[in-house]
Structure 1
Amino acid sequence: MGATSNSIDFLKQALVLAEQTGANHEQRKLFSDIGKAFFKVGDYKQAREFHEKALVIDKKLHDPYGEACDLWGISLSLERRGSIGEAIKKGESALKIFKVQKKKEARLVQEKVKSWKNAALSKTPAVGKSS
């Protein structure tokens, strides 16, 4: 974890510089990279927050691929925090963009979202059955 914590600190320092210079593309990438680093250390709340910051810039820059990647990062963080319904929605949004962009990530995202849906369905009690 020490190496990743150092990475997060380094990325945050780089983010300060990018913010000072107004380099939006760099800010977006750094927000996303910090989100990935927080995900790696298990801080899914921070991971989501940084991916959401990147997503705002993705939309501002009209970067659909970046938008899909950050939606997917948010989705993974939500799933890890137990918010399966929200994770599915964000994952489906990412999937739509990946498909339009014809990106290889589409298949992985589709499989993962499908597995979340199946897991959610298996936890839903059947209508008319008593426990």
Structure 2
Amino acid sequence: MRPQYHFWPAGSGPGHDAWNVARLIDLSRDLPRHDVPVASFPEIDTDYWTDATSSPTVRRVLNHARLILAVDPTHPIILRPDGRLMDGMHRLCLAILQERTTIPAVRFGVLPEPDVRNCRFEDLI
């Protein structure tokens, strides 16, 4: 499987900063877990998995459905210091499908340095 990344608009320049999710998992391993309300994530009402170069085709939606059904819900989602999602959208979707009101999460107190600065999505995926 290809590396997964969390992308966020770069502080400078037109690109994005990117964090390798495997590294985020390692860095967050000892952070305290807490339950977060499922309804508190604005990302669930955004075009999260597509952009100007990809549309939400039925095949893409089905691929995400497979990933949602295959997740391990015991792993906490990972949050930025501001509470935004860094890793775990498929786990969040499963929690919504299961009508759970909370989801286990860990949250960085300080944002780790990105693995790549000011990049384009296509450079890494």
TM-score (normalised: structure 2): 0.25
Question: Who wins on radius of gyration, i.e. which is larger?
Answer: 1
TM-score (normalised: structure 1): 0.24
Report which of the two has the higher share of helix: 1
Report which of the two has the higher share of strand: 2
